[in-house]
Structures are given as structure tokens and as C-alpha cells.
Amino acid sequence: MDAIFTLEQIRHVARALWKEGKSKKIWAFHAGMGTGKTTFIHALCEELGVKSAISSPTFAIINEYSSPDVGAIYHMDWYRLKGEEEAMNVGVEDSLQSGQLCLVEWPENAEGLLPDDTFHVHMEALDVDTRRVYTE
């Protein structure tokens, strides 16, 4: 998938991305600070029927949501992690091996923990209101 969208179109793009990547359990979101990773994940979780508050797990590292469509969703923010050992110490491996959907922000901070079949989502800001998203 390669899409350019405005922030108003985010739910539509999240829905289309889910159709492409729903067979993958681990999604890694690659993007710079302020690009909209958390906003995009919020829209994706809403598309999957999450009713609870969806927020950035920057300080908690892992937030868990419940979806009637896919069960548990683990939303992880690895921004503050200093490598794979620290990631393992806070329990990200348990989430990654749970068989549940895991949405990972800042995956490059412990990339060696990601399985080979990770669905990589890249985002870039084209301007204040427009984003490009592409997958590999």
C-alpha cells in the first residue's frame, strides 16, 4: 500500500491498511516524531471496535485494548527503550509472543525482537496536514 492522505481521511486509510495487513500479528510503525503514529493507531483501533480510551503508551510502554473483532490489542511505544535487553525487562517479548495484535511505535529501538513476518508501516509528513503511508 502507498497512500497520501489528510488527517481527515485517516480512518479510511486505517481501514484500507487493515485489509492489507490483517493476517500479520505484529505491526511496526516507522516514522519521525510528530508524524502521527499514535493518531493513526487510534484510528485503526477504532476501526477494530475498541471502545476504551486509546492513548499513547509512552510512559507505560504497553497499553492493552480489547476489540470485539480481534481480541486483545497491545499498543507499544518503544521510544524510551535503550535496546533489546531493556525491552525484554519490561515484558514486550510476552506481548509479541502472545499471538495477539501488537502495534509497535519506534520499533527501531529493539528491532531484533521483531519476528521476520512483521508488517512494517512507514509514515512521513508531507506537510502539516498531509501524510504518506507505505508498507513493506
Q: What is the DSSP string of 9-22?
A: GHHHHHHHHHHHHT
pLDDT 10s digits, 2-43: 777 666 788 889 999 999 999 999 999 999 998 989 999 999
- 26 neighbors 102 (Cβ within 8 angstroms): yes
What is the CB-side half-sphere exposure of residue 10 using CA atoms within 13 A? 18
Pairing of strands 71-77, 101-105: parallel
Q: What are phi and psi of 69, to 5 degrees?
A: -85, -40
Bridge partners (DSSP) of residue 4 are 132
Above pLDDT 90, what percent of the chain? 76
Pairing of strands 101-105, 119-125: unpaired
* Stated pTM of the model: 0.92
Amino acid identity of 108?
A: E
Show the domains of the chain with their CATH numbers: 2-135 (3.40.50.300)
Amino acid identity of 7?
A: L
Q: What angle do CA 6, 12, 16 make, to 5 degrees?
A: 120
Mean pLDDT of 105-124: 96
Q: What angle do CA 9, 125, 132 make, to 5 degrees?
A: 55
The predicted structure's pLDDT at residue 7: 64
